Amino acid sequence: MIQRILNARNFLACILAAVTGMALYFRAPFPDANLFLHVMAIRSSSAFLFFKYSYILFLYTTPYIAYSVLLSGVYIFAQTSPLGNAELANPSRTRTLYRYRHRGRSRVGKNGGVHVSIRRTDSCVQGD
């Protein structure tokens, strides 16, 4: 049961954030009675609407981020066994994953890809 909840942690975080956001929406509504906001609405209605809708949006997105981090931490610590994570200790899978990562590093030095041909003037060459 807990494994199923942990695998659906994004959906669970979304549901919890919606409930928390709705509670915050009614508990701490946008302060329409603020004098500064009235002046802003008169002078620049687009800026006022931007702040108002951003405030309402952040009432929902901030709890989503918090619940997502919390449930990801629970997912990480609930997955470990007393012996540790056995999948991370399997070197054959990591070797196939990182086999071609630093392929040319051992052959080519720091400036190995740059070839500049310097040719001295030949003393045997005589001009016309």
Q: Which of 25, 18, 29, 8 is closest to 61 using CA atoms? A: 18
Q: Which two tokens stand for residue 125?
A: 């060459």
pLDDT at 20 (0 to 100) = 96
pTM value is: 0.57
Single out the residue of 59, 67, 60, 78 nearest to residue 10, CA to CA: 67
Identity of the amino acid at 10 = N
51-103: per-residue pLDDT in tens? 999 999 999 999 999 999 998 888 888 766 555 555 555 666 555 555 555 55
Answer whether 88's CB lies under 8 Å from 46's CB. Answer: no
Angle between helices 35-43 and 45-79 (to 10 degrees): 120
